[in-house]
Amino acid sequence: MFSDNYKRVLVSGMARSGIAAARLLKDHGCDVTCQDLKPADKIDNASALEADGITLYLGKNPDDIIADFDLVVLSPGISTDLPFVEKAKDLGVPVWGEMELAYRFCPCPITAVTGTNGKTTTTALIGEIMEAHNHDTAVVGNIGTPFAERVGRVTADSWVVAEISSFQLETIQTFRPKISAVLNVTPDHLDRHKTMERYALIKESVGKYQMPGDFIILNYDDLLCRKMRSRARHVFFSRCEPLYEGFFLKAGNLHARFNGREFDIVNANRMNIIGNHNIENALAASAAAICAGVPVETLRAALERFKAVEHRIEFVRELNGVRYYNDSKGTNIDSAVKALEAMKWPVVLIGGGYDKRADFSEWVTAFKDRVKELIVLGETADQIAETCHAYGFENIQRVNTLKDAVYAASGAARRGDCVLLSPACASWDMFDNYEQRGNMFKDYVFKL
């Protein structure tokens, strides 16, 4: 519940989730100040926010005013290590994220999905399944729509499906989903979280406030996930093991042993999403759906209907016998490896981008017998090229822009090949976000 004690609230970060949080707070009678390092002319709706009575504090961090507030709400991109956040904690001022804030207003059950990779596909898949079962379903969070933007329109009869990143989990205080899922944990965002141990603990915290009667869905094939603790009932899924109880692959079918029943869910070949990682995503989504009370028939129909989400191994077009795939959401090593493994054709690969201090060795070793040429660009281009040389991969072209990369890849590809944008890096060195990168890639491909 949201306390009436939080009269004066600072919202730090004025991207979409920050603005949604500010409006939610204002609608509930709070005196709201929005802070961002950008000037007003670089912020969408700045004048509209001021017209609504929201104070703007721009161009610097709020170190000097932090004591004026009863609550601080951080956008996901704001690091919890910043001095003003530490100062707020020292003063006893609560620090939440937008996800925690919206949860305090939510009257209905929540399914929360986290993990290093597969979050968006699994969240979208669960959302489609739940919408077939309960038309009053809201799909929110890291998938694109801030929870705070939708929470005012849900009722006790609704169901919320939320994709939650590690950045959002850093600031939960009471967040308790009815069903949580941790899909996998592999190295990512270590520039912010510093160690794998800390990163894994943050992922585990999605189930921290769950209770008996709730469910936590975990990947049995991932040792970090398998060991995670929660008071919720543990439900495992596995692509590799026939589980005594849980959701797994059996004779080409997604299969379940659960609550004293054993049944097939769907034949994997009848789904429209490709790759072993998507088998795992579908198993996790199936577990979440069955835990939510969705009939198997409804679940099966949704699995057969669902298509890949935008920017995640998204088929763009075929031209002159070459297939083009947009995997702009492949922003870390593990997701980029999975995209490569899903390709059934020789690959001309486009990679590189913002430096998250990743080691590219695992990615480059996955090139063997798959990648015929690499087109590399962005902040990490030199590091990736050096890693390629160390492992004996020499078919590399360096380019300066994504447009150049598409044309270079088109020139290198032959009939029967595929061109895959799967950068293994974030987009922030050259683009606003991975969506912008993916949309530009598709635009260039359609102009070929």
The tens digit of pLDDT for each residue in 167-221 reads 899 999 999 999 999 999 987 665 665 688 888 999 999 999 999 999 999 999 9
Task: State how far the Cα of 356 lies from the Cα of 421, in Å rounded to an integer.
Answer: 18
**Nearest CA to 206 among 287, 141, 302?**
141
What domains appear along the chain, each with residue ranges and CATH number?
Answer: 8-96 (3.40.50.720), 106-305 (3.40.1190.10), 314-446 (3.90.190.20)
Q: In the prediction, which pLDDT does 65 show?
A: 96
Angle at CA 85, nearest 5°, toward 379 and 31?
A: 115
Q: In the prediction, which pLDDT does 191 show?
A: 66
CB neighbour list of residue 86: distance below 8 Å, 6 or more residues apart? none
Residue 97 to residues 100, 113, 201, 228, Cα–Cα distance (Å): 5, 16, 17, 23
The whole-chain average pLDDT of the chain stands at 94
Residue the block writes with tokens 């059950």: 109
Mean pLDDT by 10 residues, the chain (448 residues): 87 94 96 94 86 95 96 92 94 96 97 94 96 97 93 97 94 97 82 77 96 98 96 98 96 97 96 90 98 98 90 92 95 91 94 90 95 97 96 96 97 97 94 95 97
Q: For 198, what's the count of Cα atoms within 13 Å in the CB-facing half-sphere? A: 10
The token pair that represents 196 in the structure block: 């794998």
The alpha carbon of residue 276 and the mean position of all alpha carbons in its chain are separated, in whole angstroms, by 18
State the CB neighbour count (10 A cutoff) for residue 411.
Answer: 11
**Nearest CA to 343 among 360, 326, 359?**
326
CB 180, CB 216: distance < 8 Å: yes
Could you report the per-residue pLDDT of 363-402, keeping only the tens digit for each? 999 999 999 999 999 999 999 999 999 999 999 999 999 9
Give the N- to C-terminal CA distance of the chain in Å, as an integer: 54
CB neighbour list of residue 298: distance below 8 Å, 6 or more residues apart? 129, 132, 133, 289
